[in-house]
């Protein structure tokens, strides 16, 4: 038997157990080794004084008096008896253990494990051990189970395997790395994970396992990026650098240091001869669009076409107007194409694209339709890339052989950027333009709604505009939330002399555009909206954002919404109307009022909600690690990332026999083809 042997070769694994193990992804001995316990119960005997109320505890003592059994149905019973543990009289209760009554007698040493009730001096026992306690680990591993599998079975099979050194998985980490970080071997690691003798052993075993998971993942990412670059060699961008420099100098603002750094990284990629696959992340208002505009202008000066794909028609229209103004003094032909573009106009745009008369095309998913040609496509910029599916993004890339720049205003913590976007290079704009005022944020109880309305009235009197955001369009029986339609009617009645508009996802595109144009041109004082205004809407005169039922939103979304104000020169405000019932809800409100730094908020959101919720389960792209957690184990992740980069770029990694297992893993995982190792 070896690590590749099938699990049915183990004693006690019959057809039923084999099927249950298969449901857990366990078909070989190696799979069983890597089925790591998801938690451990501390079954170390401790003094009564050290045990907290309701804590899981293991208590040992001498039995006092007789055991009693009380039946409360034909098949159910309660066994009770008392123990003297270090001078404390303890009552033990166990459900459906009547069969033990005949085995218990006064004076016996008994060890019980269960939930401790301090006020009653009582243990509800899950495990009862009669006689002197056997020598065993103080940590009891608890495994994920399915079907009729039991924890005891898994522990027995692992114990049987532990006696045979030939069935352990292959050692992946060379001795030099294990020595550098004082990591145990894979054999020691797995023994300690499945049968830990103490907390220190368990800590070191977990540390080794987590590092290995991160290192192999990072090496695969490097291999993938390397293969992508080699297979997609492009002619480096031959842009007119003098024109690009003149264009930058002519902008009505000076680039921040972070914008300048990100721009240079992007232009270096575009000129390198390798396809760019870069993520540009930056907080709301940090100036990502300006950086993207310069990159697109550089592509145009090289005789290429550029495309900007955005998630909404409103945003496409706003970008079109902004870029027309930005390129007014340059011979750059800008067009916009969306789902609601009229048929005749659409035909004209397609013809101009085909004839290479359009330099920069802005649009929604309408750009990826098969009949939309972009023959000289040199650069694709995708705004809020997580809002598009993988197939949609790929469809635009396949229209030519372009460099690709993804942009997101959802600040992504470094730990997630390394893992979720490991195949991309990441540029980060982490400073706001000079002179921009921070949005003042307040958390207000729902009972103070009237005071909030009075504040809004003052803003309107000062010729400012206000957003009012609701989580739902219509009333929901499941959620007690104010909806946009009702709130719109309520505000129309309260603000009778003011102009109140309504914007939500169920309006037709023409209606949405009309409402947004009214608000942009200051023909509306208040806009009641759902989160349709979350992305990209730019109204500098809007100085107040009121978010109704704010505790229903995550931190990242609240921050995105808040970013719709503070875009002009006037002081802006964000008012969070909420009566959160949960501690998490209260914590979100507190954090929002304390910081306007999107990256700080993203880190906090990650702690509160986890990566899947933060990025969206389908779009998160988070790899599934057995033990490693990019948030909790971020130091190990960063160390592994640096080590993987150094290894991948060193000749010894590709030649030295001690790295053979890691090299082989790159092939078996599909990250690298076998011929690349030759």
Q: For residue 158, what pLDDT band results from cuts at 50, 70 and 90?
A: very high
Average pLDDT over residues 444-469: 94
pLDDT higher at 305 or 74: 305
Percent of the chain at pLDDT > 90 equals 51
Full-model pTM? 0.63
How far apart, in whole angstroms, are the C-alpha atoms of residue 577 and residue 586? 12
Tokens of 320: 């079109």
* CATH superfamily for domain 241-429: P-loop containing nucleotide triphosphate hydrolases (3.40.50.300)
CB 544 within 8 A of CB 466: yes
Torsion angle of C-alpha atoms 447, 452, 453, 454, degrees rounded to 10: 120
Could you report the per-residue pLDDT of 585-614, keeping only the tens digit for each? 898 899 999 988 877 777 777 667 655 444
pLDDT higher at 668 or 122: 122
Give the H or E element holding residue 212. helix 199-231
pLDDT higher at 416 or 320: 320
Most confident of 366-375, 481-490, 650-659: 650-659
Most confident of 64-68, 420-424, 628-632: 64-68
CB 570 within 8 A of CB 464: yes
Q: For residue 623, what pLDDT band results from cuts at 50, 70 and 90?
A: low
Domain 440-595 adopts which CATH fold? Rossmann fold (3.40.50)
Res 88 pLDDT > 50:
yes
Please tell me the predicted confidence (pLDDT) of residue 419.
65
To 10 degrees, what angle do helices 199-231 and 186-194 make?
A: 130
To 10 degrees, what angle do helices 583-594 and 598-609 make?
A: 170
Res 450 pLDDT > 60:
yes
Helix (H, G, I), strand (E, B) or coil at 347: helix
Please tell me the predicted confidence (pLDDT) of residue 618.
38
**How many degrees, rounded to 5, is the angle at CA 373 between CA 369 and CA 379?**
95
Tokens of 374: 């972009």
Q: For residue 650, what pLDDT band results from cuts at 50, 70 and 90?
A: very high
**Residue 66, Cβ density class (10 Å: 0-12 exposed, 13-18 middle, ≥19 buried):** exposed
Res 132 pLDDT > 70:
no
Average pLDDT over residues 551-559: 84
Mention the CATH class of domain 44-137.
Answer: mainly beta
Res 424 pLDDT > 90:
no
Res 454 pLDDT > 50:
yes
Residue-by-residue DSSP string for 545-594: EEEETGGGS-HHHHHHHHTTSS-SSS--EEEEE----SHHHHHHHHHHHH
Could you report the per-residue pLDDT of 248-274, keeping only the tens digit for each? 999 988 999 999 999 999 999 999 878
Sheet (strand 500-503) strand order: 440-444, 573-577, 542-548, 465-469, 526-529, 500-503
């Amino acid at each position: 038997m070896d690590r590749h042997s099938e699990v049915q070769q183990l004693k006690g694994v019959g057809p039923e157990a084999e099927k249950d193990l298969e449901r857990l992804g366990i078909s070989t001995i190696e799979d069983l080794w890597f089925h790591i316990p998801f938690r451990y119960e501390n079954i170390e005997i401790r003094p009564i004084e050290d045990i907290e109320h309701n804590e899981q505890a293991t208590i040992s003592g001498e039995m006092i008096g007789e055991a009693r059994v009380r039946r409360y149905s034909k098949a159910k019973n309660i066994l009770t008896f008392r123990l003297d543990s270090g001078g404390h009289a303890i009552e033990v209760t166990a459900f459906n253990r009547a069969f033990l009554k005949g085995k218990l007698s006064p004076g016996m040493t008994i060890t019980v494990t269960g939930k401790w009730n301090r006020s009653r001096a009582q243990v509800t026992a899950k495990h009862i051990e009669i006689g002197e306690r056997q020598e065993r680990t103080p940590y009891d591993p608890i495994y994920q189970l399915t079907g009729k599998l039991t924890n005891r079975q898994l522990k027995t099979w692992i114990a049987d395997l532990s006696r045979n050194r030939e069935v352990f998985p292959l050692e992946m980490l060379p001795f030099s790395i294990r020595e550098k970080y004082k990591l145990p071997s894979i054999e020691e690691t797995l023994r300690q994970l499945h049968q830990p003798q103490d907390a220190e052993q368990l800590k070191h075993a977990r540390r080794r396992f987590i590092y290995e998971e991160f290192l192999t993942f990072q090496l695969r990412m490097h291999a993938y990026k390397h293969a992508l670059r080699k297979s997609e060699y492009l002619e480096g961008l031959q842009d007119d650098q003098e024109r690009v420099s003149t264009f930058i100098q002519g902008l009505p603002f000076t680039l921040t240091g972070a914008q300048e750094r990100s721009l240079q990284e992007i232009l270096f990629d575009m000129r390198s001869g390798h396809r760019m696959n870069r993520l540009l992340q930056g907080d709301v208002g940090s100036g990502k669009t300006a950086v993207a505009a310069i990159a697109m202008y550089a592509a145009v000066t090289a005789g290429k076409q550029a495309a900007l794909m955005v998630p909404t028609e409103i945003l496409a229209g706003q970008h079109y107007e902004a870029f027309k103004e930005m390129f007014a003094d340059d011979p750059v032909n800008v067009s916009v194409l969306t789902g609601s573009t009229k048929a005749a106009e659409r035909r004209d745009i397609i013809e101009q694209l085909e004839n290479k008369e359009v330099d920069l095309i802005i649009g929604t998913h309408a750009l990826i339709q098969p009949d939309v040609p972009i023959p000289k496509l040199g650069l694709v910029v995708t705004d809020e890339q997580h809002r598009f599916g993988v197939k949609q993004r790929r469809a635009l890339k396949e229209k030519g052989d372009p460099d690709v720049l993804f942009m997101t205003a959802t600040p992504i913590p470094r730990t997630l950027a390394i893992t979720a976007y490991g195949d991309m290079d990441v540029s980060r704009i982490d400073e706001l333009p000079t002179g921009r005022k921070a949005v003042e944020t307040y958390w207000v109880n729902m009972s103070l709604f009237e005071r909030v309305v009075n504040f809004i009235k003052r803003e309107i009197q000062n010729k400012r505009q206000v957003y009012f955001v609701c989580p739902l369009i219509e009333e929901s029986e499941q959620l007690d939330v104010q909806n946009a339609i009702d709130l719109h009617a309520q505000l129309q009645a309260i603000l009778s002399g003011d102009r109140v508009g309504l914007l939500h996802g169920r309006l037709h595109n023409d209606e949405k555009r009309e409402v947004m144009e009214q608000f942009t041109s200051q023909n509306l004082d208040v806009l009641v909206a759902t989160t349709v205004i979350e992305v990209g809407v730019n109204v500098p005169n809007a100085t107040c954002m009121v978010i109704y039922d704010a505790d229903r939103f995550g931190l990242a979304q609240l921050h995105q919404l808040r970013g719709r104000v503070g875009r002009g020169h006037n002081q802006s405000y964000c008012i969070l109307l909420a009566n959160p019932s949960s501690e998490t809800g209260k914590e979100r409100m507190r954090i929002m009022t304390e910081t306007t730094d999107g990256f700080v908020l993203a880190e906090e959101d990650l702690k509160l909600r986890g990566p899947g919720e933060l990025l969206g389960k389908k779009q998160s792209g988070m790899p599934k690690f057995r033990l490693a957690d990019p948030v909790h184990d971020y130091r190990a992740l960063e160390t592994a990332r640096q080590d993987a980069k150094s290894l991948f770029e060193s000749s010894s990694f590709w030649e030295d026999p001690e790295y053979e297992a890691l090299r082989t893993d790159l092939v078996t995982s599909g990250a690298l083809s076998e011929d690349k190792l030759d």
